[in-house]
Amino acid sequence: DAGVIQSPRHEVTEMGQEVTLRCKPISGHNSLFWYRQTMMRGLELLIYFNNNVPIDDSGMPEDRFSAKMPNASFSTLKIQPSEPRDSAVYFCASSSDSLAKNIQYFGAGTRLSVL
């Protein structure tokens, strides 16, 4: 299995632009998580889906952030409009309920820089 795949790996954009981050979870996993990591705030859970349904989006910082999971093999995190304080590494992770234990498998992350 290729693991969790995120794209792009790096994104540099200007303030005000729309940013879309993409994630392909491990095949067969039914939970998907979006995290943001910064030096100041550490690893923050933004939102997670179970069976393609958003379960908890309490970590989404503002209305500028939105996430979708149209099917079991794809999810997007969108920031519109982007701001410099959104600069961070964004991780996607997936897990499987059927395997229990809730072990999460992380992608390599997308490093976002908003100028």
Contact residues toward other proteins (CB under 8 A) are 4, 31, 33, 42-43, 45, 48, 50, 55-56, 91, 93, 95, 97, 101-109
Residue-level length of the chain:
115
Rounded-to-integer distance, Cα 83 and Cα 91, Å: 18
* CB of residue 16 to other proteins, shortest distance in Å: 28
Q: Give the residue with the Cβ less far from other proteins, 10 or 85.
A: 10
Q: Cα Rg for the chain, rounded, in angstroms?
A: 13
Q: Give the residue with the Cβ less far from other proteins, 52 or 81.
A: 52
* CB of residue 87 to other proteins, shortest distance in Å: 15
Residue 5: half-sphere exposure toward Cβ, Cα within 13 Å: 7
Q: Which residues pair with 54 in a beta bridge?
A: 49
* CB of residue 64 to other proteins, shortest distance in Å: 22
